[in-house]
Structure formats: structure tokens, C-alpha cells
Structure 1
Amino acid sequence: MAQRFFTTYFVPTEHRRINEFVGLLLLTIATLLALSLVSFNPDDPSFNISANPQFETKPTNFAGLVGSYLADVFFQAWGFSSFLIPVFLGIYSFYWLASWPVANFGVRLSGMVLMVFSISTVFSVSPSFPRIRDHIPAGGVLGKLMAEKLEASLNPAGSAVILTAALFLSLLLATTFTFAWAVAVLKPRFQFVSSVVERWADWQADRARQRELRRAQKREKAPKRQTIITEKPIPAEPVFASEARPLARRAVAAFEGKRGESLTAAPKSKAVRSSTTPEFPPPSLLHPPAGAVQIDESALRERARMIEKKALEFEVEGTVQQIHPGPVVTTFEIKPEPGIKYSRITSLGDDLCLALKAECIRIDRIPGKSTVGIEVPNEERAIIVLRELLEAREYTQNNFKLPLALGKDITGKIVVTDLQKMPHLLAAGSTGTGKSVSINAMILSLLYRSRPEQVKMILIDPKRLELGLYQDIPHLLVPVVTEPKIAQNVLRWAVSEMESRYKRLAKRGVRNVEAYNEQVQQFSIPGLHGEAEDNEEELEPIPYIVIVIDELADLMMTAPREVEESITRLAQMARAVGIHLILATQRPSVDVITGLIKANFPARISFRVASKVDSRTILDSNGAEQLLGRGDMLFLPPGSSRLMRVHGPLITEEEVVRVVDFLKKQGKPTYNESILESPEERVEAGMDGGAPDELYDEAVKMVIEMGKASTSVLQRRLRIGYGRAASLLDSMERDGIIGPPDGSKPRAVLINRGDYLGEP
């Protein structure tokens, strides 16, 4: 109640002219009071001296008769500490003239009063302070009374402790003084003194060493005395010594033998591994992290004061408790006063942007605390690179099957999650907000920890811009898909593959891919399960399949019903069989991100969007419209309703090309081209074995004339589907006309026209 009273009547209002009037009045009073105190004369008329009207003595005080009376009253009451009162009034008047808000005026006023009384008591405790014009005590009547009470109760030593504490308490209440600020100011001075002391100590130690060296040289030059050697009987060796030495020698020999084995065996095992399994890409293929951005503590404290000041203008009282600088944004923890609603704080976003000259500000509650976080963009933004994430302990020392390095949170902590536990991810954001760059970071973080036999990928890129760089890496099941109709076939195949895997898991009596692969590993050990398993079919491990779709909107435009049905079935059931989806779109509308799709994707990422409606479409909450772009995202972890702000890493095309070239040298992909076929094309191509194709001879002649064979050329020239063209190429390969597939390159033709037609 008292705080509200002071806030209402004793602080500047919204009317600037009223504020200037009050400020001018206070400044006038402060000036007159200062002149009165400076020109005080004990012989002037006052309450203690009555002037004789016959002589009509004129006061010498600069403020006249009023000034002489005022000065006498203030000096009689508080002594020399009265000079603080016009100083406080002058400072207070400037706040009114400038219409600056005064935070916690009641607390400030109590601190000023405490300071005046404390200093007047200090002047009265010490007898060394002179009296005012040889008449009035240095601390005034009130100071003298309090000093006498303190000395009677606590003696001089105890009084000094109490007065020192009161002075510091008045500083804390009346000003923005903090002990942390005092330490920050005094620390460089103490460091200078300590460095001087250390140099002096080093100099003394150096002198001592030189003196000792000179003494040693003198001793060497002096004639040596003859030493007398007396022979003493050598004690007998213990009984156990002869037994311990051979044991020690054997232990040392065994240790040296093991050490020799390890030194010679390590290169052999490394050579075997490098010849049988591909290597992981080294982090040196990526750009190294840049230097850390310097933090300006004074600028951060100034921003904290501006936040408090701006909030107080809208009657939102609170204090900034902590400041957390991060790589992209700085979080200011503000604790609101009792009675302040959270909604009133969140409504200050645009006003704080104006006050701090920031692009956008996000305000959110801090979990586990009674504070509100205000996330303000840094003036100098740190650049986060993928190499920094891949070399971090959070990425290298985890048990994730499918690790995704997302970036850093607002405090600079590295965020790595597991796609297997998500089990699918939906990402959306406007054009140019860093969505495709983050997709590249996710793909590379998978490639840096997964071998081709462990993880297979299907990349669908209807835009034909981003994912084509990964063509022909050994992890691909099919070439990068760019046609929406073929993408539908891929999703249908994924559904059938999911059902097939479930049958394999049910046959082995396991519930997921991890348990199945563990069984395969156990059966691969000879003699572990006896001969009962010899008659069963050979078991092969099931790899994870990650399907990445860079633009979901293009697929939903061509066949929304079929695409939604396939994605929904995969999202609902494919987790246990190791098939995972990463969907990305730049159109976060309800016709693209439908209710069925969103319900089956608990893990979602939103980059900057244009409106609150788009943010709610992706995350079911606001906030994505306040992001900064360039990889700034809100991540909704699976099983949580709290959003996490993450800053994604920067990935350049040059880095992607270097990693892809390294992977291509490790091996070639084994494409399963039947994945791209539709059921109709399988029937058309005679997949179940039928009569020879009537276009076979024409296709052979065409291939021989061109000198190369590819499905795309046959599709275009003969106007047939992909399945039929692939079947024709398989028939030619069986007949020895063309060679085997070589990645995405055309097949080589092995015969000429004369050999095929039987001509000489």
C-alpha cells in the first residue's frame, strides 16, 4: 500500500508539463537551501538568537532572513549532514524535469533518510570533527542524541560496526550501488597491487638464488677436506628378498610383454578395420568455429536499467534479477512485484523493442522460477558452425542411434537429440529463415555417426535445389527423388516395407529393430545357438531408414489424400521398425500440415513465420513470429509442452560438397530402383514373369546407337513408364548387351550393332 502511495503521488506523471513545473520548483528549493547552508552565520537572526529591533541588524545569509532561519534549523538538527538534503532534492528535481520514472521511490526515500541520520551520528561519535562555526555540534542535536545512546549500549567499537552497516544499507537503498559493482571496479586496482607484490617477491627470490650461487662457487674454490670412511658391517638380506625379486622381474616382463603386444596389435586392428568398413568423415572437412564474442557487461547493465525504466512507465514494477548472455540473444530475468499479471509483462514486447532498438523481443516464463525471461537480440551475433557441435561431448559421448545436432540454446548449451526417440520430426518456417540449412545440418550429423549398412536414406526434394548435393552417397537407397509422382511411389513402398518388417519381427518374436539386430548379432557367433538354427533362413540386420522431404507442400498439392495417408501410416506405426520421417515445409498452413499429420508428429520445429496463426498451426502456441531468422528456431521436444529456443548452425555448400566427396570415396550406393515403381508399372513391366516385351528389340537398337543406356532415355524415347524401362535394362543386362549399374551414371554398352544383328 505504501509503495503504491509513493508511486502515485511522488513520482513523475504522464503529463510532461506538470513534471517540468514540479521539477523546476524542487530545483529552486534545493538551490535556496544550498545557498542558506553555505552562507550560514551564527550571528544572524534565528530561533536561537533574537535581534534587537532598535538596531535592525540585517542578516548576512545569501537567502536572507528565511535562509538564516532554515540554515539554523537544519544545522541544529543534523549538523554537517544537512548538506545532503539539497543534493538529494537537486537529483530528484532532474528526474521530474526529464520525466524519468523513479523505481521504488519509498525505498529510495528511506535510504536517503537513513543516510542523513547515519552520517550525523558518525560526526557526533568522533570528537575530532570541528563544531559548525564554533557553536553547533558537527552532527547536530539528533546526531548527538543517537551517538550517546549507541555508546552507552555498545561502546565505541560496537557503535562503529553498527554505523558502518547503516551507511552501506543506506547506499543500497538510496542508490543502485551493489557490492558486485564495487568488486568489479576495485578488482583491476587490486590486480595491479598484487602484480607489484609478485614482481617484488620474484626479485627477492632471484637475489636469494644469486647469493646462493655465489656461495656455492666459493665453496668449490676452497680446498676440500679429507673425509674419513669407516666400514660398517652390512646387515643380512631378508629372507623374502630373494623370492620377491624373481616375482618382480616376472611382473615387469609380463607388463613389457603386454605393452609390446598392444603396440604391435593396434596398427593391425586398425588396418583390418579400414579395409573392411568405411571411415567416418573427419571434422576437419567443416569450417572451424570462430572466436568468441566479447561481452560488454556495462552495456548489459544499461539494458537492464532501460527494461526496468520502460516497464515502470506502464506501471509494471519489477527488477532484473539475473542476466544470461548467449550466442544470439541475452536473457534478462525480471521478477515482477506482487500484484503484476504475467499478461501485462508480455504485452510490453513492442514497447521494449522501441526502447532497446531491437528487431524483435520474445518474452516467456522461466521454468522452475518466479521470474520472466526477456530475450533481447545481441548487437553482435555469434556464428555457430556445425563442427563445434560435432566435436562437443554432447554429440560424441551419447548412445543415440540417430543423433541430430540442432544447435545451441539461449545460454550457449549445445542441443543434440535422438531421431529414434522422437520418432519423427516436422519443421516449418518462412522462406529464408534457415530451414534448409538446418535440414543439411541434420543430415550431416547423421552421416558423421552412421555407416551405410546401419542407416539408409531416401531424400525427396521437389524443389530440386537443396538435396541434390547428396547424390550418389553410399547411404542412399534410391537417387534423390525430385518428381512428386515418384515420391508418392516411394512413400507407398515405405508403407509396404514397414508391413514387411513387422512380419519379420513377429516371426522372430521381437518388438523392435534393436532387439531384432541383437538377435542377428547373437546368431552370427558360431556355435552359440547350436545346430538348430542351421536350417532356418539366413538372418540379416535391418538398417534404419530416414526419409527426408524438403518441401511437403509440393507433394500435398499433387496428391494430398494419398500423401497424407502414407505419411500418417508411417508416423503411427513405423517407429518400431526403424523408419523415421523428417518433413519440412515453407507453407505452415492447415492444408499442408493437416490435423492427422500434426497429431502424429510430437516433435516439431518452427523457424520464423509471418503471423501468430502460422505459429499456432505448427506449435499450437505463439512465439515463432518473434524469432530472428537465420536458423533461430523454437523446438518442441517429444513428450513436452515447453518450447526450447535453439540457434541452428551455419552450413555452407562448400562444406556439404567436401563431406559428400569423402563419402563417395568410401563406396558406391546400391540403388533399389523398384522403390520408384508404382503398382501399375510393375504390372505393365511384367514383374511376375511374362512374355518378352515387344519393345525389347527397338530398345536394344536405340541403346546400341547411343552407346549408353539409362531408364530416363528409354522413358522419353519410347514413351513408357519407369518400371517398364527398368525391366528392359535388366533384360539387356541378362543378355550381356549392357553392363551393370554404376550409381547414377548411364550403363555401358558391351556390343555393337553388327554383333547384335549377326552382321559381319
Structure 2
Amino acid sequence: MTYSLDTLITSGGASAAPRTGLSRFAHETAIVLGLVGMVFWLIALISYSPQDAAFSTSGTGGLTANWGGRLGALLADANYFLFGFSAWWPFAAAVRAWLTSLAQWMRGEGRADSQGHFSRTRIAFWLALALLLCASCALEWSRLYRFEGKLPDHAGGALGFIVGPLGVKWLGFTGSGLVFVALVVVGAAVVFRFSWSHVAERLGARLYGLVEARREKREIAEDVALGQQAARLREEVLQEERVEIEEHHPVPVLIEPLVLDVPKSERVAKERQKPLFMELPDSKLPQVDLLDGPTGRQETVSNETLEMTSRLIEKKLKDFGVEVRVVLAQPGPVITRYEIEPATGVKGSQIVNLAKDLARSLSLVSIRVIETIPGKNFMALELPNAKRQSIRLSEILGSQVYNEAKSM
């Protein structure tokens, strides 16, 4: 255990007066003699032997085994006879007092003799030391009696033989143990001037540091293991077949221009060239002029809408597992016709069966599927326009396509 100079100085009272030459010499002499005495006391306690002649034993008559000779044997026998193994408490208290005196000398202060021999600090020290010895000897007598063979008398010495039975008689075996342990704890704190809370804090900090150090070492070891594993994986040569993916560029959709002016038939041209003052010849059919003429063209489907709808048709059919390609878009006044080219292996019945699902995915009421287009290997989808245009009967009857039809 280490001590700081601040904890070794006696608190309370006025500061010590400056030292004179004589008092300083006396202080230094006391420090040196105290050190020699404590060393002699220590070797006497360490080298104690029951075979040496002393107060409690006559010995074997041989050479003294104690390192301190006959005086050391007497000193050790007296300590162990009176206090048992608790004799180490007075020695530890003497070491503490010597360190306090050494700290005062290093600070240039004289001994605090002017404060009175029986100051409150010294009274507390001696009272705490007495309680510590009584409690320790009693615990030794009641709990460590198996070590009596190594002592000149009972475990706990003569003091334990007196205090121990009294404590067991009045407090019981368990109660006396609790009380004596509490007295040892309090007495040690007062004699050696330390706080058990500080001891607990330092012990907890040390244990926490050890746990954190072990955790850091474990994490470092795990990181090293993961790094080595990753290095081994990088060293393995992986041969993978390279698959070249061809980029699919959609073929632009061919969009036919919307027919704004329907070519007129020869019949309409002849009917317009009628004479002013001659009667009209007999005709089986009424003149086309009797019908209302065509109105101006309304808004048509834009090319951007046709392109977007074409790509949307391809995507929705692909979602259903059918791959097609829109090759032509023919906008009309009422519907727009999209000619599609099915991929290899796609049957026309698959597209026909998906007509309702495709209409629902495109948010339309219905879609007409044309399976066969004369002269082409394509199919067609007819989608209704968002805005329908009106078609006059005169426009149909007066068109060149209608008059040149074979059915006419």
C-alpha cells in the first residue's frame, strides 16, 4: 500500500513551529531509531520459533533460532502470547506512525509535541487500535483455533482468550462475528487513516480496467482473425464464366401520319360540276351534297403518346410472360392500331387470352386483338383513343376508298 504525504500529516491544530537545531536533531534521531526498531521487530516476528526459550516456554536448550537472538525470541513470544497472529496489527500501526513522522520531517515541520500528548487525534488512534486488537483477537480465538499449534498459547493470544468467550456469551457465535468484523473495519480505517469508499472506488476502477483491457484484446483478436480470413479468401482464385450481356436498344416505332383530308371520289367531283339551267339527269343514288359535310379535325394523338403507349404495351405483356415488339402505330379518329411482332415461341392465343388483363393494366375498358393481318406476319392491338372524333356519313360515301371498293 502506498501513501501520499498529505495523508500522513496529522490534521487539526495549528501548524508546527519552525524547528530549532536541537529539535531537528532529535526528530531525525527518532526517525532513524524507529526504523531500526521496526526492522528488528519485523525479523523477530518472522523468525519466531516455539523451540526458543522465552516467557511462555523453556525451550530445548539449543541455539536460538530467532534472527533477533534471545531478545528477538522474547519480543516475538510476548507478541504472539498476548495477541496471537493479531500481533501484526501493532507492527502495522507503528509503520504508519513512522511514515507520518517521516513526512513531517520531509516537509520541514517539527513534531507536534506542543499539541499535548493526549490530543484528540492520539486518543482516537489509541482507542481505535485497542478496538482493532480486541476484535481481531476475538475473531482469531473463535474462528482460527486450528492454528494454535503454531502459537505459544491460544489462538488470538491472552487477549482473545478473554474477549472471545465474552463476545460469544453475550452476542452468540454469529452475532459476535458480525460485531467483531465491524469493529475491525472501523478500527483499521481510523488507525491507518483511509476510507473504505476510496478503496472500493479504486478496486472497482482497477477491475473495470482489467475487464476493458480483456475486452479490447478480444476485439483485436477477432479483428485480426477476420482480416486473416478475408486475406485467405482474396488469395483464392475464382474462375467465373464471363457472360456478355447485349444491350437492348428498343427499335423505334413506325408511326403513320394521321389522315386529315380524305381523297374525294370522282362521283363527288362530277356532282359539283352540275349545270346552272339544265335539269339533272336521272340517278339511282341521291347526291352526296344532300348530307352534312365533314367538320374540321379535332385534337389528334401526339407522337410522344404513341411512343409511350407502345413501350407500355411491351412492358405489360413482358410482365405477363409474353415478349412482343411494337413495330407500327396507326392513329385514327376513334382508335389507334398498334401492330406487334411476337417473339419466337409466343402463340397468338396467349396474347388473345391476355386482352382483358392488358386492358386493365393500361386502364382501358377493352382492347381488340387482331390475330391475322393480310400480307403481314404481325398481330394488331386496337386501343380506343382518349378523345374520339365524329365521322360524317358524307365523308365515308364521298371517299375514294369507298367508291373503289370491290363490293361497290
TM-score normalised by the chain length of structure 2: 0.39
Q: Which has the higher contact order (CA 8 A, sep 6+)?
A: 2
TM-score normalised by the chain length of structure 1: 0.22
